[in-house]
Amino acid sequence: MMSELNNSKMQEQINRTEESILHTYNRFPVVFERGEGVHLYDSQGKPYLDFAAGIAVNALGYHYPGYDEALKNQIDKLIHISNLYYNEPISEAGKKLVQFSGMDKAFFTNSGTEAIEGAIKAAKKYAFNRDGHAGYEIIAMNSSFHGRSVGALSVTGNAHYREPFEPLMGGVRFADFNDLDSVKAQVTDKTCAILMETVQGEGGIYPADSAFLQGVRALCDEKDILLILDEIQCGMGRTGYYFAWQKYGVSPDIMTCAKALGCGVPVGAFVLNKKAAASSLVPGDHGTTYGGNPLACAAVSTVFDIFEKEQIVSYVRELTPYLEKKLDELVDAYPCVKERRGAGFMQGLVIEGRPVGEIIRAALDKGLVVISAATDVIRLVPPLVITRTDIDEMADLLSQCLCGH
């Protein structure tokens, strides 16, 4: 009887949401009420092992020691003041973001999409300052995803997202990810930037090949083109490095980040190297009301402190082989799992012959949260603090779903 009442209450909450919230998401029929560690709990108290982390946001899981306390402390001091004035949290957060990225200047935004918008503007302004005129183009990648605003959609290499909203921003050419000749073929004397994810996420979990990324960097150096790397999903420790590009021996001129940057508090940033920062955006070129406010920056600063103290990035690198081993066992065991690809704690299982949504729904029923990428990939982007025991549990639950139990 109690279970029926709880089910009725959850359905009532779902119905109330559908009545008032614009239906732009096909949500799963569960109402999450709280989180603890690497588990979520629905409104009936059922636990779920979280291998989605709010789409790679909750890198520290839920209620990691020190995180909540830092935010509560900042709330008691100051939440918002505007960028017309200085505040201590933005100073601390900026210092740490520049330090751990090895870049020069940061601009805090409210989201990853806004970070992309700022990066595009910075690249265009750099070329404008250099040559004294506008009219420049950007090369982006097919199968990429950079956000849903008009500018971000314009550089997103998926017609499904773009077509209903055209005409979009002009001056964008698309090349094939991991195909250097394809990129070179799109370069003209109007090219001011090449934009790509270091690891494509929404497009199906494709890491950049070393030779490709190094080749693009060399091409940019040769022609004074800015390299923009989107680290919104793959950054902040997810691949075993603070930022995924740090593994490749190259660095971008502009980097975007968000998601795990605040571990749940909405915050993003674009970060520029010395060359891009010295000759791009100046007062009046760009702005934000909420971006970089004290609460968001307190979250960023605290995340970096925890990452450094707890050696989160090294931990991901240490545990990655075990995660990959357990996922590879699923590839070997089930014919419908075609392959595994990914880097660090950003992994994808390619499914063949079965609807991915069916498997994800079955996993949710069993208490495992995973999500999809592209049309045929189960995406696993868990909190960076999972343990071997959590990985074993994930593999066991996913195995039950793959074999149809």
Q: Based on the fold, state whether residues 10 and 78 are members of the same structural domain.
A: no
CA-CA-CA-CA dihedral for 75, 80, 86, 89, to nearest 10: 40
Residue 134 has pLDDT above 50, yes or no: yes
Q: Based on the fold, state whether residues 180 and 198 are members of the same structural domain.
A: yes
Q: Based on the fold, state whether residues 243 and 360 are members of the same structural domain.
A: no
- Whether 62 maps to a domain, the answer reads no
Give me the pLDDT at residue 6, please: 67
Query: Taken in order 319, 321, 324, 330, is the CA torsion positive or negative?
Result: negative
Q: Based on the fold, state whether residues 270 and 372 are members of the same structural domain.
A: no
Q: Based on the fold, state whether residues 377 and 294 are members of the same structural domain.
A: no
Euclidean distance between CA atoms 226 and 128, whole angstroms? 13
- Whether 91 maps to a domain, the answer reads yes
- Whether 59 maps to a domain, the answer reads no
Residue 2 has pLDDT above 70, yes or no: no
Give me the pLDDT at residue 349, please: 98
Where is the domain boundary, 310, 336, 364? 310
Q: Which domain holds residue 249?
A: 67-310
Q: Based on the fold, state whether residues 107 and 121 are members of the same structural domain.
A: yes
Where is the domain boundary, 310, 338, 359? 310
Give me the pLDDT at residue 8, please: 79
Give me the pLDDT at residue 3, please: 59
Query: Taken in order 250, 252, 253, 259, is the CA torsion positive or negative?
Result: negative
Q: Based on the fold, state whether residues 270 and 363 are members of the same structural domain.
A: no
> pLDDT tens digit string along 259-293?
999 999 999 999 999 999 999 999 999 999 999 99
- Whether 58 maps to a domain, the answer reads no
> pLDDT tens digit string along 7-22?
778 899 999 999 999 9
Are residues 279 and 254 in contact, defined by beta-carbon separation less than 8 angstroms? no
pTM of the shown model = 0.96
How much is the mean pLDDT over the chain? 96
Q: Based on the fold, state whether residues 103 and 149 are members of the same structural domain.
A: yes
Q: Based on the fold, state whether residues 265 and 148 are members of the same structural domain.
A: yes
Residue 4 has pLDDT above 80, yes or no: no
Q: What is the CATH number of the domain that holds 37?
A: 3.90.1150.10
The total of structural domains in the chain comes to 2
- Residues in a beta bridge with 379: 348, 371
Amino acid at site 228: I
Euclidean distance between CA atoms 331 and 202, whole angstroms? 21
Amino acid at site 251: S
Residue 405 has pLDDT above 80, yes or no: no
Give me the pLDDT at residue 13, please: 92
Give me the pLDDT at residue 10, please: 87
Q: Based on the fold, state whether residues 171 and 280 are members of the same structural domain.
A: yes
Give me the pLDDT at residue 1, please: 47
- Whether 12 maps to a domain, the answer reads yes
Give me the pLDDT at residue 5, please: 55
Q: What is the mean pLDDT of residues 210-220?
A: 98
Q: Based on the fold, state whether residues 295 and 395 are members of the same structural domain.
A: no
Q: Based on the fold, state whether residues 180 and 279 are members of the same structural domain.
A: yes
Q: What is the mean pLDDT of residues 20-47?
A: 96
Q: What is the CATH number of the domain that holds 158?
A: 3.40.640.10
Where is the domain boundary, 290, 310, 330? 310
Give me the pLDDT at residue 7, please: 76
